[in-house]
Amino acid sequence: MSLSIIVPTYNEAENVRELIERVEASLKGLDFEVIVVDDSSPDGTAEVAEELGRAYGNVRVVRRPKKMGLASAVLEGMKVAKHELIAVMDADLQHPPELLPKLLGRAGEGHDVVVASKYVEGGGVRGWSFWRRLLSRGATLLAHALLPETRKVKDPMSGFFLFKKSVVEGVELNPIGYKLLLEVLVRGRYESVAEVPYIFEARRRGRSKLGLKEVFDYVVFLFKLMRQERRVEQR
């Protein structure tokens, strides 16, 4: 099976080398590409990724003129992706590249969307404060309450997932922030979803990009998506 891995980046020069090296080791012998979509990181993230591209031959860099957000970066990466299967993951090493073969394996069983999940048996988090855990659980409950399509997945907020391009072909996606999976689950065309457990690790280097603005944007996005889906159902 062939795979395109899209990695949105902003100021991840400290992490992107290890990430790509671990991806290359985990998928050795398989047909895959890594697409780094960088939002003009001032720390030289794009340059590090381009250096790795010359070394490995299957790493491409898409440079964007300014900071535009994770989800839109994924959509940008999909425009140049060569393969039908798309994996999405962060560059901060909180998403273990070693899980990619398991995600691919579940896709090979016929699942259209495969989610790396913190909240199924065998999954979990390390290094989170009580408030971060509470925020994550609260955000998941809110998504389940407002968007029934997300209830089939225990971790609809995951930023680490794999899906077939055909799931979103012809679907207008207008995500904000880092919650593309929510739109895929609500608007995508798919039959089967699977979850694979993993441990979400504490960030080792760099700074978290989660702040009050991201929380506010998320809540606004949920209500907007709910209203849009109701209008579609009423047609």
Residue the block writes with tokens 């990009």:
209
Domain 2-234 in CATH 3.40.640.10: no
Domain boundaries, the chain: 2-234
Mean pLDDT by 10 residues, the chain (235 residues): 95 95 97 97 96 97 88 90 96 95 97 97 89 85 89 93 94 72 92 96 59 69 71 49
Residues contacting 197, CB < 8 A, separation 6+: 116, 117, 118, 120, 121, 122, 123, 124
Measure Cα distances from 71 to 36, 42, 78, 177 in Å: 13, 20, 11, 6
Measure Cα distances from 110 to 103, 145, 152, 192 in Å: 11, 28, 17, 8
Residues contacting 132, CB < 8 A, separation 6+: none
Count H helices, E strands: the chain? Answer: 7, 9
pLDDT confidence of residue 234? 44
pLDDT confidence of residue 178? 54
- Cα 180 from Cα 208, distance rounded (Å): 18
pLDDT confidence of residue 212? 64
Q: Where are the beta strands (DSSP E) in the chain?
A: 2-9, 31-38, 59-63, 85-88, 113-117, 124-125, 161-164, 193-197, 199-200
